[in-house]
Amino acid sequence: MIDSMLFNLMFIGVLGIVSQWLAWRFRLPAIVIMSIAGLLAGPIFGLINPKEDFGDVYKPIISMAVAIILFEGSLNLDFREVRGLGKPVFRIVTIGAFLAWVLGSLAAHFVAGLSWAVAFVIGGLFIVTGPTVILPLLRQAKLKPRPAAILKWEGIIVDPFGALLAVFAFEIIRFLLSDNVTVLSLLLFFAASLFAVLLGWVSGRGTGFLFEKGHVPEFLKSPVVFVIVLACFTVSDEIAHETGLLAVTAMGITLANMHIASIGDMRHFKENISVLLTSTIFVMLTASLTVKTLLEIFNWQIIAFVLLMLFIVRPLSVWLSTVGTDLSTKEKILVGWIAPRGIVALTVASYFASILLDRGFTDAGILMSLTFALVFSTVCAHGFTIGWLAKKLGLATDERPGVLIVGGSSFSTGIAKTFQELKTPVMIADSSWKRLYTARKAGVPFYRGEVLSEQMDYYLDLTPYEYLIAATELDSYNALVCTTFVPEIGRNNLFQLSLRSQREDDIEDIGNTIGGRILFHQDVTWEELNKRVERGDVFRKTNITEKYTFEAYLEEINENAIILFVLKPSGKIGFFTEEMSPKVEDGDIVVSLMERYKEYDKIQKKISDQREKQLKGKEQKGQT
């Protein structure tokens, strides 16, 4: 291939991002696509070999990427989440994680043939599932809230600690196996670890202080955090090797629990960097594998180890840790099966493999084969079976893509009732009991709380909802809600009512990146919609068929009717917006808001027609 480091970097980045896009487009596990891309580009076709192409900078690139990925994971660890966890989740992330570490280490030693030191290091790392792999699977499978919450918070909480457990296991066992081990050397190790934690805490507190006091401008906050994370990792690692990961994790946890608004504002940048790094690093790691490493995967010891981790270690650790909890047998089966290892496991395993080899642990040479076999097997096995197993166990929601409506009102309740009648999940969210009165009276599901608050993540599961409608009377709030939920729901599925209010404010200069897509058309405001619902207008559902086409429907409806959305047989919803109208086909259901008298006339006509048919039928029977 072309002997250019610049070209190789570009090629790896393209492979990573294209793999992510293909995974999103075809609803496949991203790691599977990235693994295939890396293997094809590396050991199979020999297009690239990052380990040789990058030379001495290969290890530093991997190390810094792991530090940033681990910082990103620890930044999600808010202690308020831990305090609010139920008993099953708490047991799984404590007792379950410890059992998984011990059982996995025993399997690595007695089955895979690793030394005790290497076995306990890799056993600690393999407890990691991680939000980067588990959250896409949860969205794909649409689990019920309870098992989804358990898997979600396990991934978030255990993710930062897997690498830490590996670090401590490595250092302690290295000292214990050393011939010249002394109490002083152990104390120095713990002192270095304590220094790493202190450095991470100071870095986090210092960063938070600078942000809270306004000493860093907004446009520099993300770069400042990025540089401080790298500095924290490098300084700690130079003072005592392998403690850099501990330092950046401590920094992330510190910042997460300072509850600084700026950290939330940087979430999009942090997630984007994480996606970019995980994509490129994963392709680099898989492309650096040799044919020998791939062939080692088919070693009976590695295969036996993977099978033990899949069918014994994970189910047993979950089952034992949840004894005495209110988890049902079906929930234990599902949670005990789903534990995909991902990018963090592979990147950190590569990091430790090189270090262990440098320290004389020759058996660490198979760590990459072992880790890649486990990662690829778990992602494939769990990614392609989670939906099927959840449905078999009755733990998946068979419902269609749902709609979250922000803002309680008469119109919100009316359209929500229509969604209910169409078997579409719906939820109205508002912070006011008064505005939720009509929803509560109509029996529509509701959430009382501020959707922009941090607590919303803990109490409202967004998994069932693929669409969001901001329908409050405040234009600016609607725009803020839509802008905030872009990463979670996607810009194409975010909608809001018309920004044009009765004041006829000039909004032409508002950026097109702010807010959601304008529903219906500009003249249909919040006031207009609620006025029409309160005066008696009704939501009409019309089936489009070959005989009754959408064109015929448009000719029939009154000019004052508002066409709201079209429901596809698949459950997908197409909203009519200011910019475009969805394509309506046979089998679709069109919903519109129209005056009641039109509906009344149609009902009366149908009743009269039915009576005429009945009378004609009786007359015919009488004549015979």
Higher pLDDT, 388 or 140: 388
pLDDT at 369: 87
Min mean pLDDT across 318-322, 327-331, 417-421, 620-624 is at 620-624
pLDDT band at 14 (very low <50, low <70, confident <90, very high): very high
The pLDDT confidence band at residue 503, using thresholds 50, 70 and 90, is: very low
Residues 373 and 424 in one domain: no
- For the stretch 63-103, pLDDT in tens is 788 788 778 767 766 666 555 556 788 888 889 989 999 99
Question: What is the chain's percent helix, strand, coil content, to nearest 5?
Answer: 65, 10, 30
Q: Do 186 and 301 belong together in one domain?
A: yes
Domain end (from 393, 419, 444) = 393
User: φ and ψ at 465, to 5 degrees?
Assistant: -105, 115
What pLDDT sits at residue 423? 86
Residue 483's pLDDT band, with cuts at 50, 70 and 90, is confident
Choose the weakest-confidence range: 103-112, 450-459, 548-557: 450-459
Do 440 and 305 fall into the same domain?
no
Q: Lowest-confidence range among 144-148, 395-399, 553-557? A: 395-399
Sign of CA dihedral 399, 404, 408, 412: negative
Q: Are residues 18 and 125 in the same domain?
A: no
First CA to last CA across the chain, in angstroms? 91
pLDDT at 140 over 90: no
- Residue 174, strand partner residues: none
Q: What is the pLDDT of residue 319?
A: 93
For 450, 456, 458, 514, 578, the CA distances from 481, given in Å and listed in that order, are: 10, 13, 18, 10, 19
Whether pLDDT at 513 is above 60: no
Based on the domain organization, do 412 and 538 belong to the same domain? yes
578 near 517, Cβ under 8 Å? yes
pLDDT value at position 509? 47
Query: Residue 459 pLDDT more than 50?
Result: yes
Asked whether residue 208 is domain-assigned, the answer is no
Does the pLDDT value for residue 480 go beyond 70?
A: yes
Biggest CA pair distance of the chain: 115
Residue type, 515: G
Residue 511 has pLDDT above 60, yes or no: no
Same domain, 452 and 582: yes
| pLDDT exceeds 60 at position 603 | no
Mean pLDDT of 150-168: 74
| Mean pLDDT, all residues of the chain | 80
**Residue 608 located in a structural domain:** no
| Whether residues 185 and 103 fall in one domain | yes
Q: Specify whether 294 is located in the same domain as 374.
A: yes
pLDDT above 70: residue 463: yes
Radius of gyration of the chain (CA): 29
Positive/negative CA dihedral, 74, 76, 79, 83: negative
Using the 3D structure, point to which of 367, 393, 419 is the last residue of a domain: 393
Residue 65 domain flag: no
Amino acid 602: pLDDT = 60
Looking at the whole model, is its pTM more than 0.85?
Answer: no
DSSP assignments along 435-479, one per residue: TTHHHHHHT--EEES-TTSTTHHHH---TTEEEEEE--S-HHHHH
Q: Is residue 299 part of a domain?
A: yes
Which range among 16-25, 382-391, 533-542, 603-612 shows the weakest confidence by mean pLDDT? Answer: 603-612
Q: How is residue 143 annotated by DSSP?
A: B
Range of the domain at 39: 1-48
Structural domain includes residue 217:
no
Contact 482, 468 (CB under 8 A): yes
Residues 410 and 376 in one domain: no
Dihedrals phi, psi of 143, to nearest 5 degrees: -70, 160
In the chain, % of residues over pLDDT 70:
82
User: Band of the pLDDT at 569, cuts 50, 70, 90?
Assistant: confident
pLDDT over threshold 70, residue 349:
yes
* Residue-level pLDDT at 144: 77
Lay out the sheet containing 573-575: strands in order across: 538-543, 589-594, 562-567, 573-575
Of the pLDDT bands very low, low, confident and very high (cuts 50, 70, 90), residue 506 is very low
Which of 335, 318, 313 is CA-nearest to residue 395?
335
Interval 161-183 mean pLDDT? 69
- Torsion, Cα of 559, 560, 563, 564 (10° steps): 170
- What are residue 518's DSSP bridge partners? 496
pLDDT at 540: 86
- Assess if residue 296 is contained within a domain: yes
Torsion angles phi and psi, residue 454, rounded to 5: -65, -30
| In-domain check, residue 60 | no
Band of the pLDDT at 402, cuts 50, 70, 90?
Answer: confident
Number of structural domains (the chain) is 3
| Confidence bin at 504 (pLDDT 50/70/90) | very low
Chosen domain end from 347, 363, 393: 393
pLDDT(206) > 80: yes
Both 424 and 502 in one domain: the answer is: yes
Q: How far apart are CA 318 and CA 103, in angstroms?
A: 12
Q: Distance (Å, rounded) from C-alpha 525 to C-alpha 503?
A: 12
The C-alpha angle 272, 278, 279, rounded to 5 degrees, equals 90
Q: b or e along 412-445 (b: 16 or more beta carbons within 10 Å of the residue's beta carbon)? A: bbbbbbbbeebebbbbbbbbeeebbebbeeeebe
**Mean pLDDT calculated for residue range 425-431:** 89
How far apart (Å, rounded) are the C-alpha atoms in residues 450 and 604?
Answer: 45
- Domain containing 123 — which CATH number? 1.20.1530.20
| 355 shares a domain with 406 | no
245-266 confidence digits (pLDDT tens): 778 888 888 888 887 766 665 6
- Whether residues 382 and 413 share a domain: the answer is no
On whether residue 69 sits in a domain, the answer given is no
